[in-house]
Amino acid sequence: MNADYSNELHKRVINHVNQIYPEHSAEELSMKFIKCMGLDKHYDEPMQHKNHWDEHDIAVITYANTFMHAGQTPLHTLKKFLSENLKETVSIVHILPFFPFSSDDGFSVIDYTLVNDAHGDWNDIEDIAGEFKLMSDLVINHCSSRGRWFEQFKAGKSPGKDYFFQVNPDEDLAAVVRPRTNPLLKEVTTLNGEVYVWCTFSHDQIDLNFSNPDVLLEFVNIIRLYLERGVKVFRLDAIAFLWKEIGTNCINLPQTHEIVRLLRTLIEYHTNDAIIITETNIPNRENLSYFGNANEAHMVYNFPLPPLLLHTLLTGSSKHLKTWLMSMPPAMMGTTYFNFIASHDGIGLRPAEGLLSEEEIQNLVATMEAFGGHISWRALDNGDNKPYEINITLYDALKGTEEKGPDKWQQARFICAHTIMLALEGVPAFYIHSLLATENDYEKYKNTNNNRAINRHNWELQYLESLLESDTHHANIFNELKRIIAIRKLQPAFHPNATQFTLQLGDAICGVWRQNLNRDQSIFAISNVTDQNQRLILSDINLIATDQWIDLISNDEISEEQTELYLKPYQSVWLSNKIKFQ
């Protein structure tokens, strides 16, 4: 459609701009955003409340250099591994920041427009985007202290001299929510003397000043570049901290939400089926607010799921997990949840606040330390430190229980965790090291002194392939997860927006009922979360008498005379009335 500045797009952008920048000319600034996104000449009207996903969508999360092979760039090697091993398994590939960076394994970006030449180039990125839906980070809250913009800031040169948030150190900043323990402000020598800049995370990650609309225009230009290079899914990193106002907690401010709405408008008018995911590792109610009125994020991370599911399998009680599942609102059409239980970061504990007691969190932390994990801390406004996240591979995290310690059920417990995740409303995402059942990398931790490095192993591809072709736990887990995923992808009742109802079958069992949008397939997804056999009374669930029921996972039929099932430790069943195996 040719551009018409009296149209809906123009009206929407003006409305966004008025909310974010009331002191600027909305007409002039809205035109800048529209032109920056290339929408001044042509755009496609997006369909409202359209789901850009279905039950076939599975995501994998990986670094650009997870796989190494002599004579190949890591991105080329990644493409090889994905194409040869996961082409029929995953549809979305999230490559963590692949740009030149100075710290934090990519999240301190030096240049947003380049691919780190140690990983490959844009051709490698486009090759992956040609075969999978490519998900990329927009590291929008902050940039590297070694980047061009910050060098300009220190030299008093445009445009960077106006791009960063400066603060008087005498200001009262006690209300600011902090995800880290280091000082919030960093003293910097500039051409104009000593100034203090804002650093939500590390002192190498300098927060940008979005009260200057030119900063937001820079990122709109970056988004357009990524779209043109094949990116379809945008992860808005640390977006909750974006807008700062002295005297507030500087998290989830109204301007931040309006910026997400503006980016949503611009992105979906450029590419109708592009998706925004907000990365907001914050308490659950605040996290859900980023759905807006189906006009902000298409997807939000289900951050409470990792700590709650971990607690469930370590204690043998699904009580808190079920309470949370019952409290979760169904996502509106055009939105859904992004479910995960492990990622490149640790297992966040903030989302568990209010869902687990302090004692339960302390027990979880102690168990993870006993299983070889490390704990990262954050600063409270009273000066105390509090556990922020657990750093451990998920495979090692599930090696035993809180009460008994390590046991023989590690692999079964690990498969159970992912089978539960696969059954829940939303799009499931697997961290690559979960698919591979990677163990804690203590050597990388020692070399970097970074707690998160324990869960960021780099595999030599040929060695990994030998493990996957042998009788190893890596092969067992990889093949079984691929088998279960293949079954899951065929079931309409596992559509991300299909109906979900939490079953009440006792604390030892976790179960949900899913029904597809056409209401002709039901699945009772039920898991034993203990290390003991559990009895499931079939009259406790609503197996319609006129239908033939089967466990999709084992392919065992449920006879008309059958009244109960016995679930082995950590066994899962998907009881369905519609049989789909191909």
Catalytic residues: 237
Asked if 232 and 222 touch (Cβ cutoff 8 Å), the reply is no
**Do 59 and 429 contact (CB within 8 A), yes or no?**
yes
- Residue 79 near residue 124 (C-beta atoms within 8 A): yes
Is 302 in contact with 337 (CB distance < 8 Å)?
A: yes
Q: CA 199, CA 111: separation in Å to the nearest integer?
A: 18
For the chain, the C-alpha Rg in angstroms (whole number) is 24
Q: Render 209-241 in DSSP notation, one character per residue.
A: -TTSHHHHHHHHHHHHHHHHTTEEEEEETTGGG
Measure the CA–CA gap between 242 and 253, rounded to whole angstroms.
Answer: 8
Which helix H or strand E contains 419, and what residues bound it?
helix 410-423
253: left (phi over 0), alpha (psi -120 to 50) or beta: beta
| Cβ partners under 8 Å of residue 276, min gap 6 | 233, 234, 236, 260, 263, 264, 267, 296, 297, 298, 299
CA angle 303, 91, 459 (to 5 degrees): 75
CA 146/CA 188 separation, integer angstroms: 13
Beta-strand ranges (E) seen in 328-448 are: 336-339, 347-348, 374-379, 385-391, 400-401, 405-406, 427-431
Residue 48 φ/ψ region, left for φ over 0, alpha for ψ in the -120 to 50 degree band, beta for the rest? beta
Compute the distance between CA of residue 91 and CA of residue 60 in angstroms, rounded to an integer. Answer: 8
H-helix or E-strand containing 285? helix 284-288
Taking the C-alpha atoms of residue 184 and residue 277, their distance in angstroms, rounded to an integer, is 26
- The Cα–Cα gap between 66 and 86 comes to 15
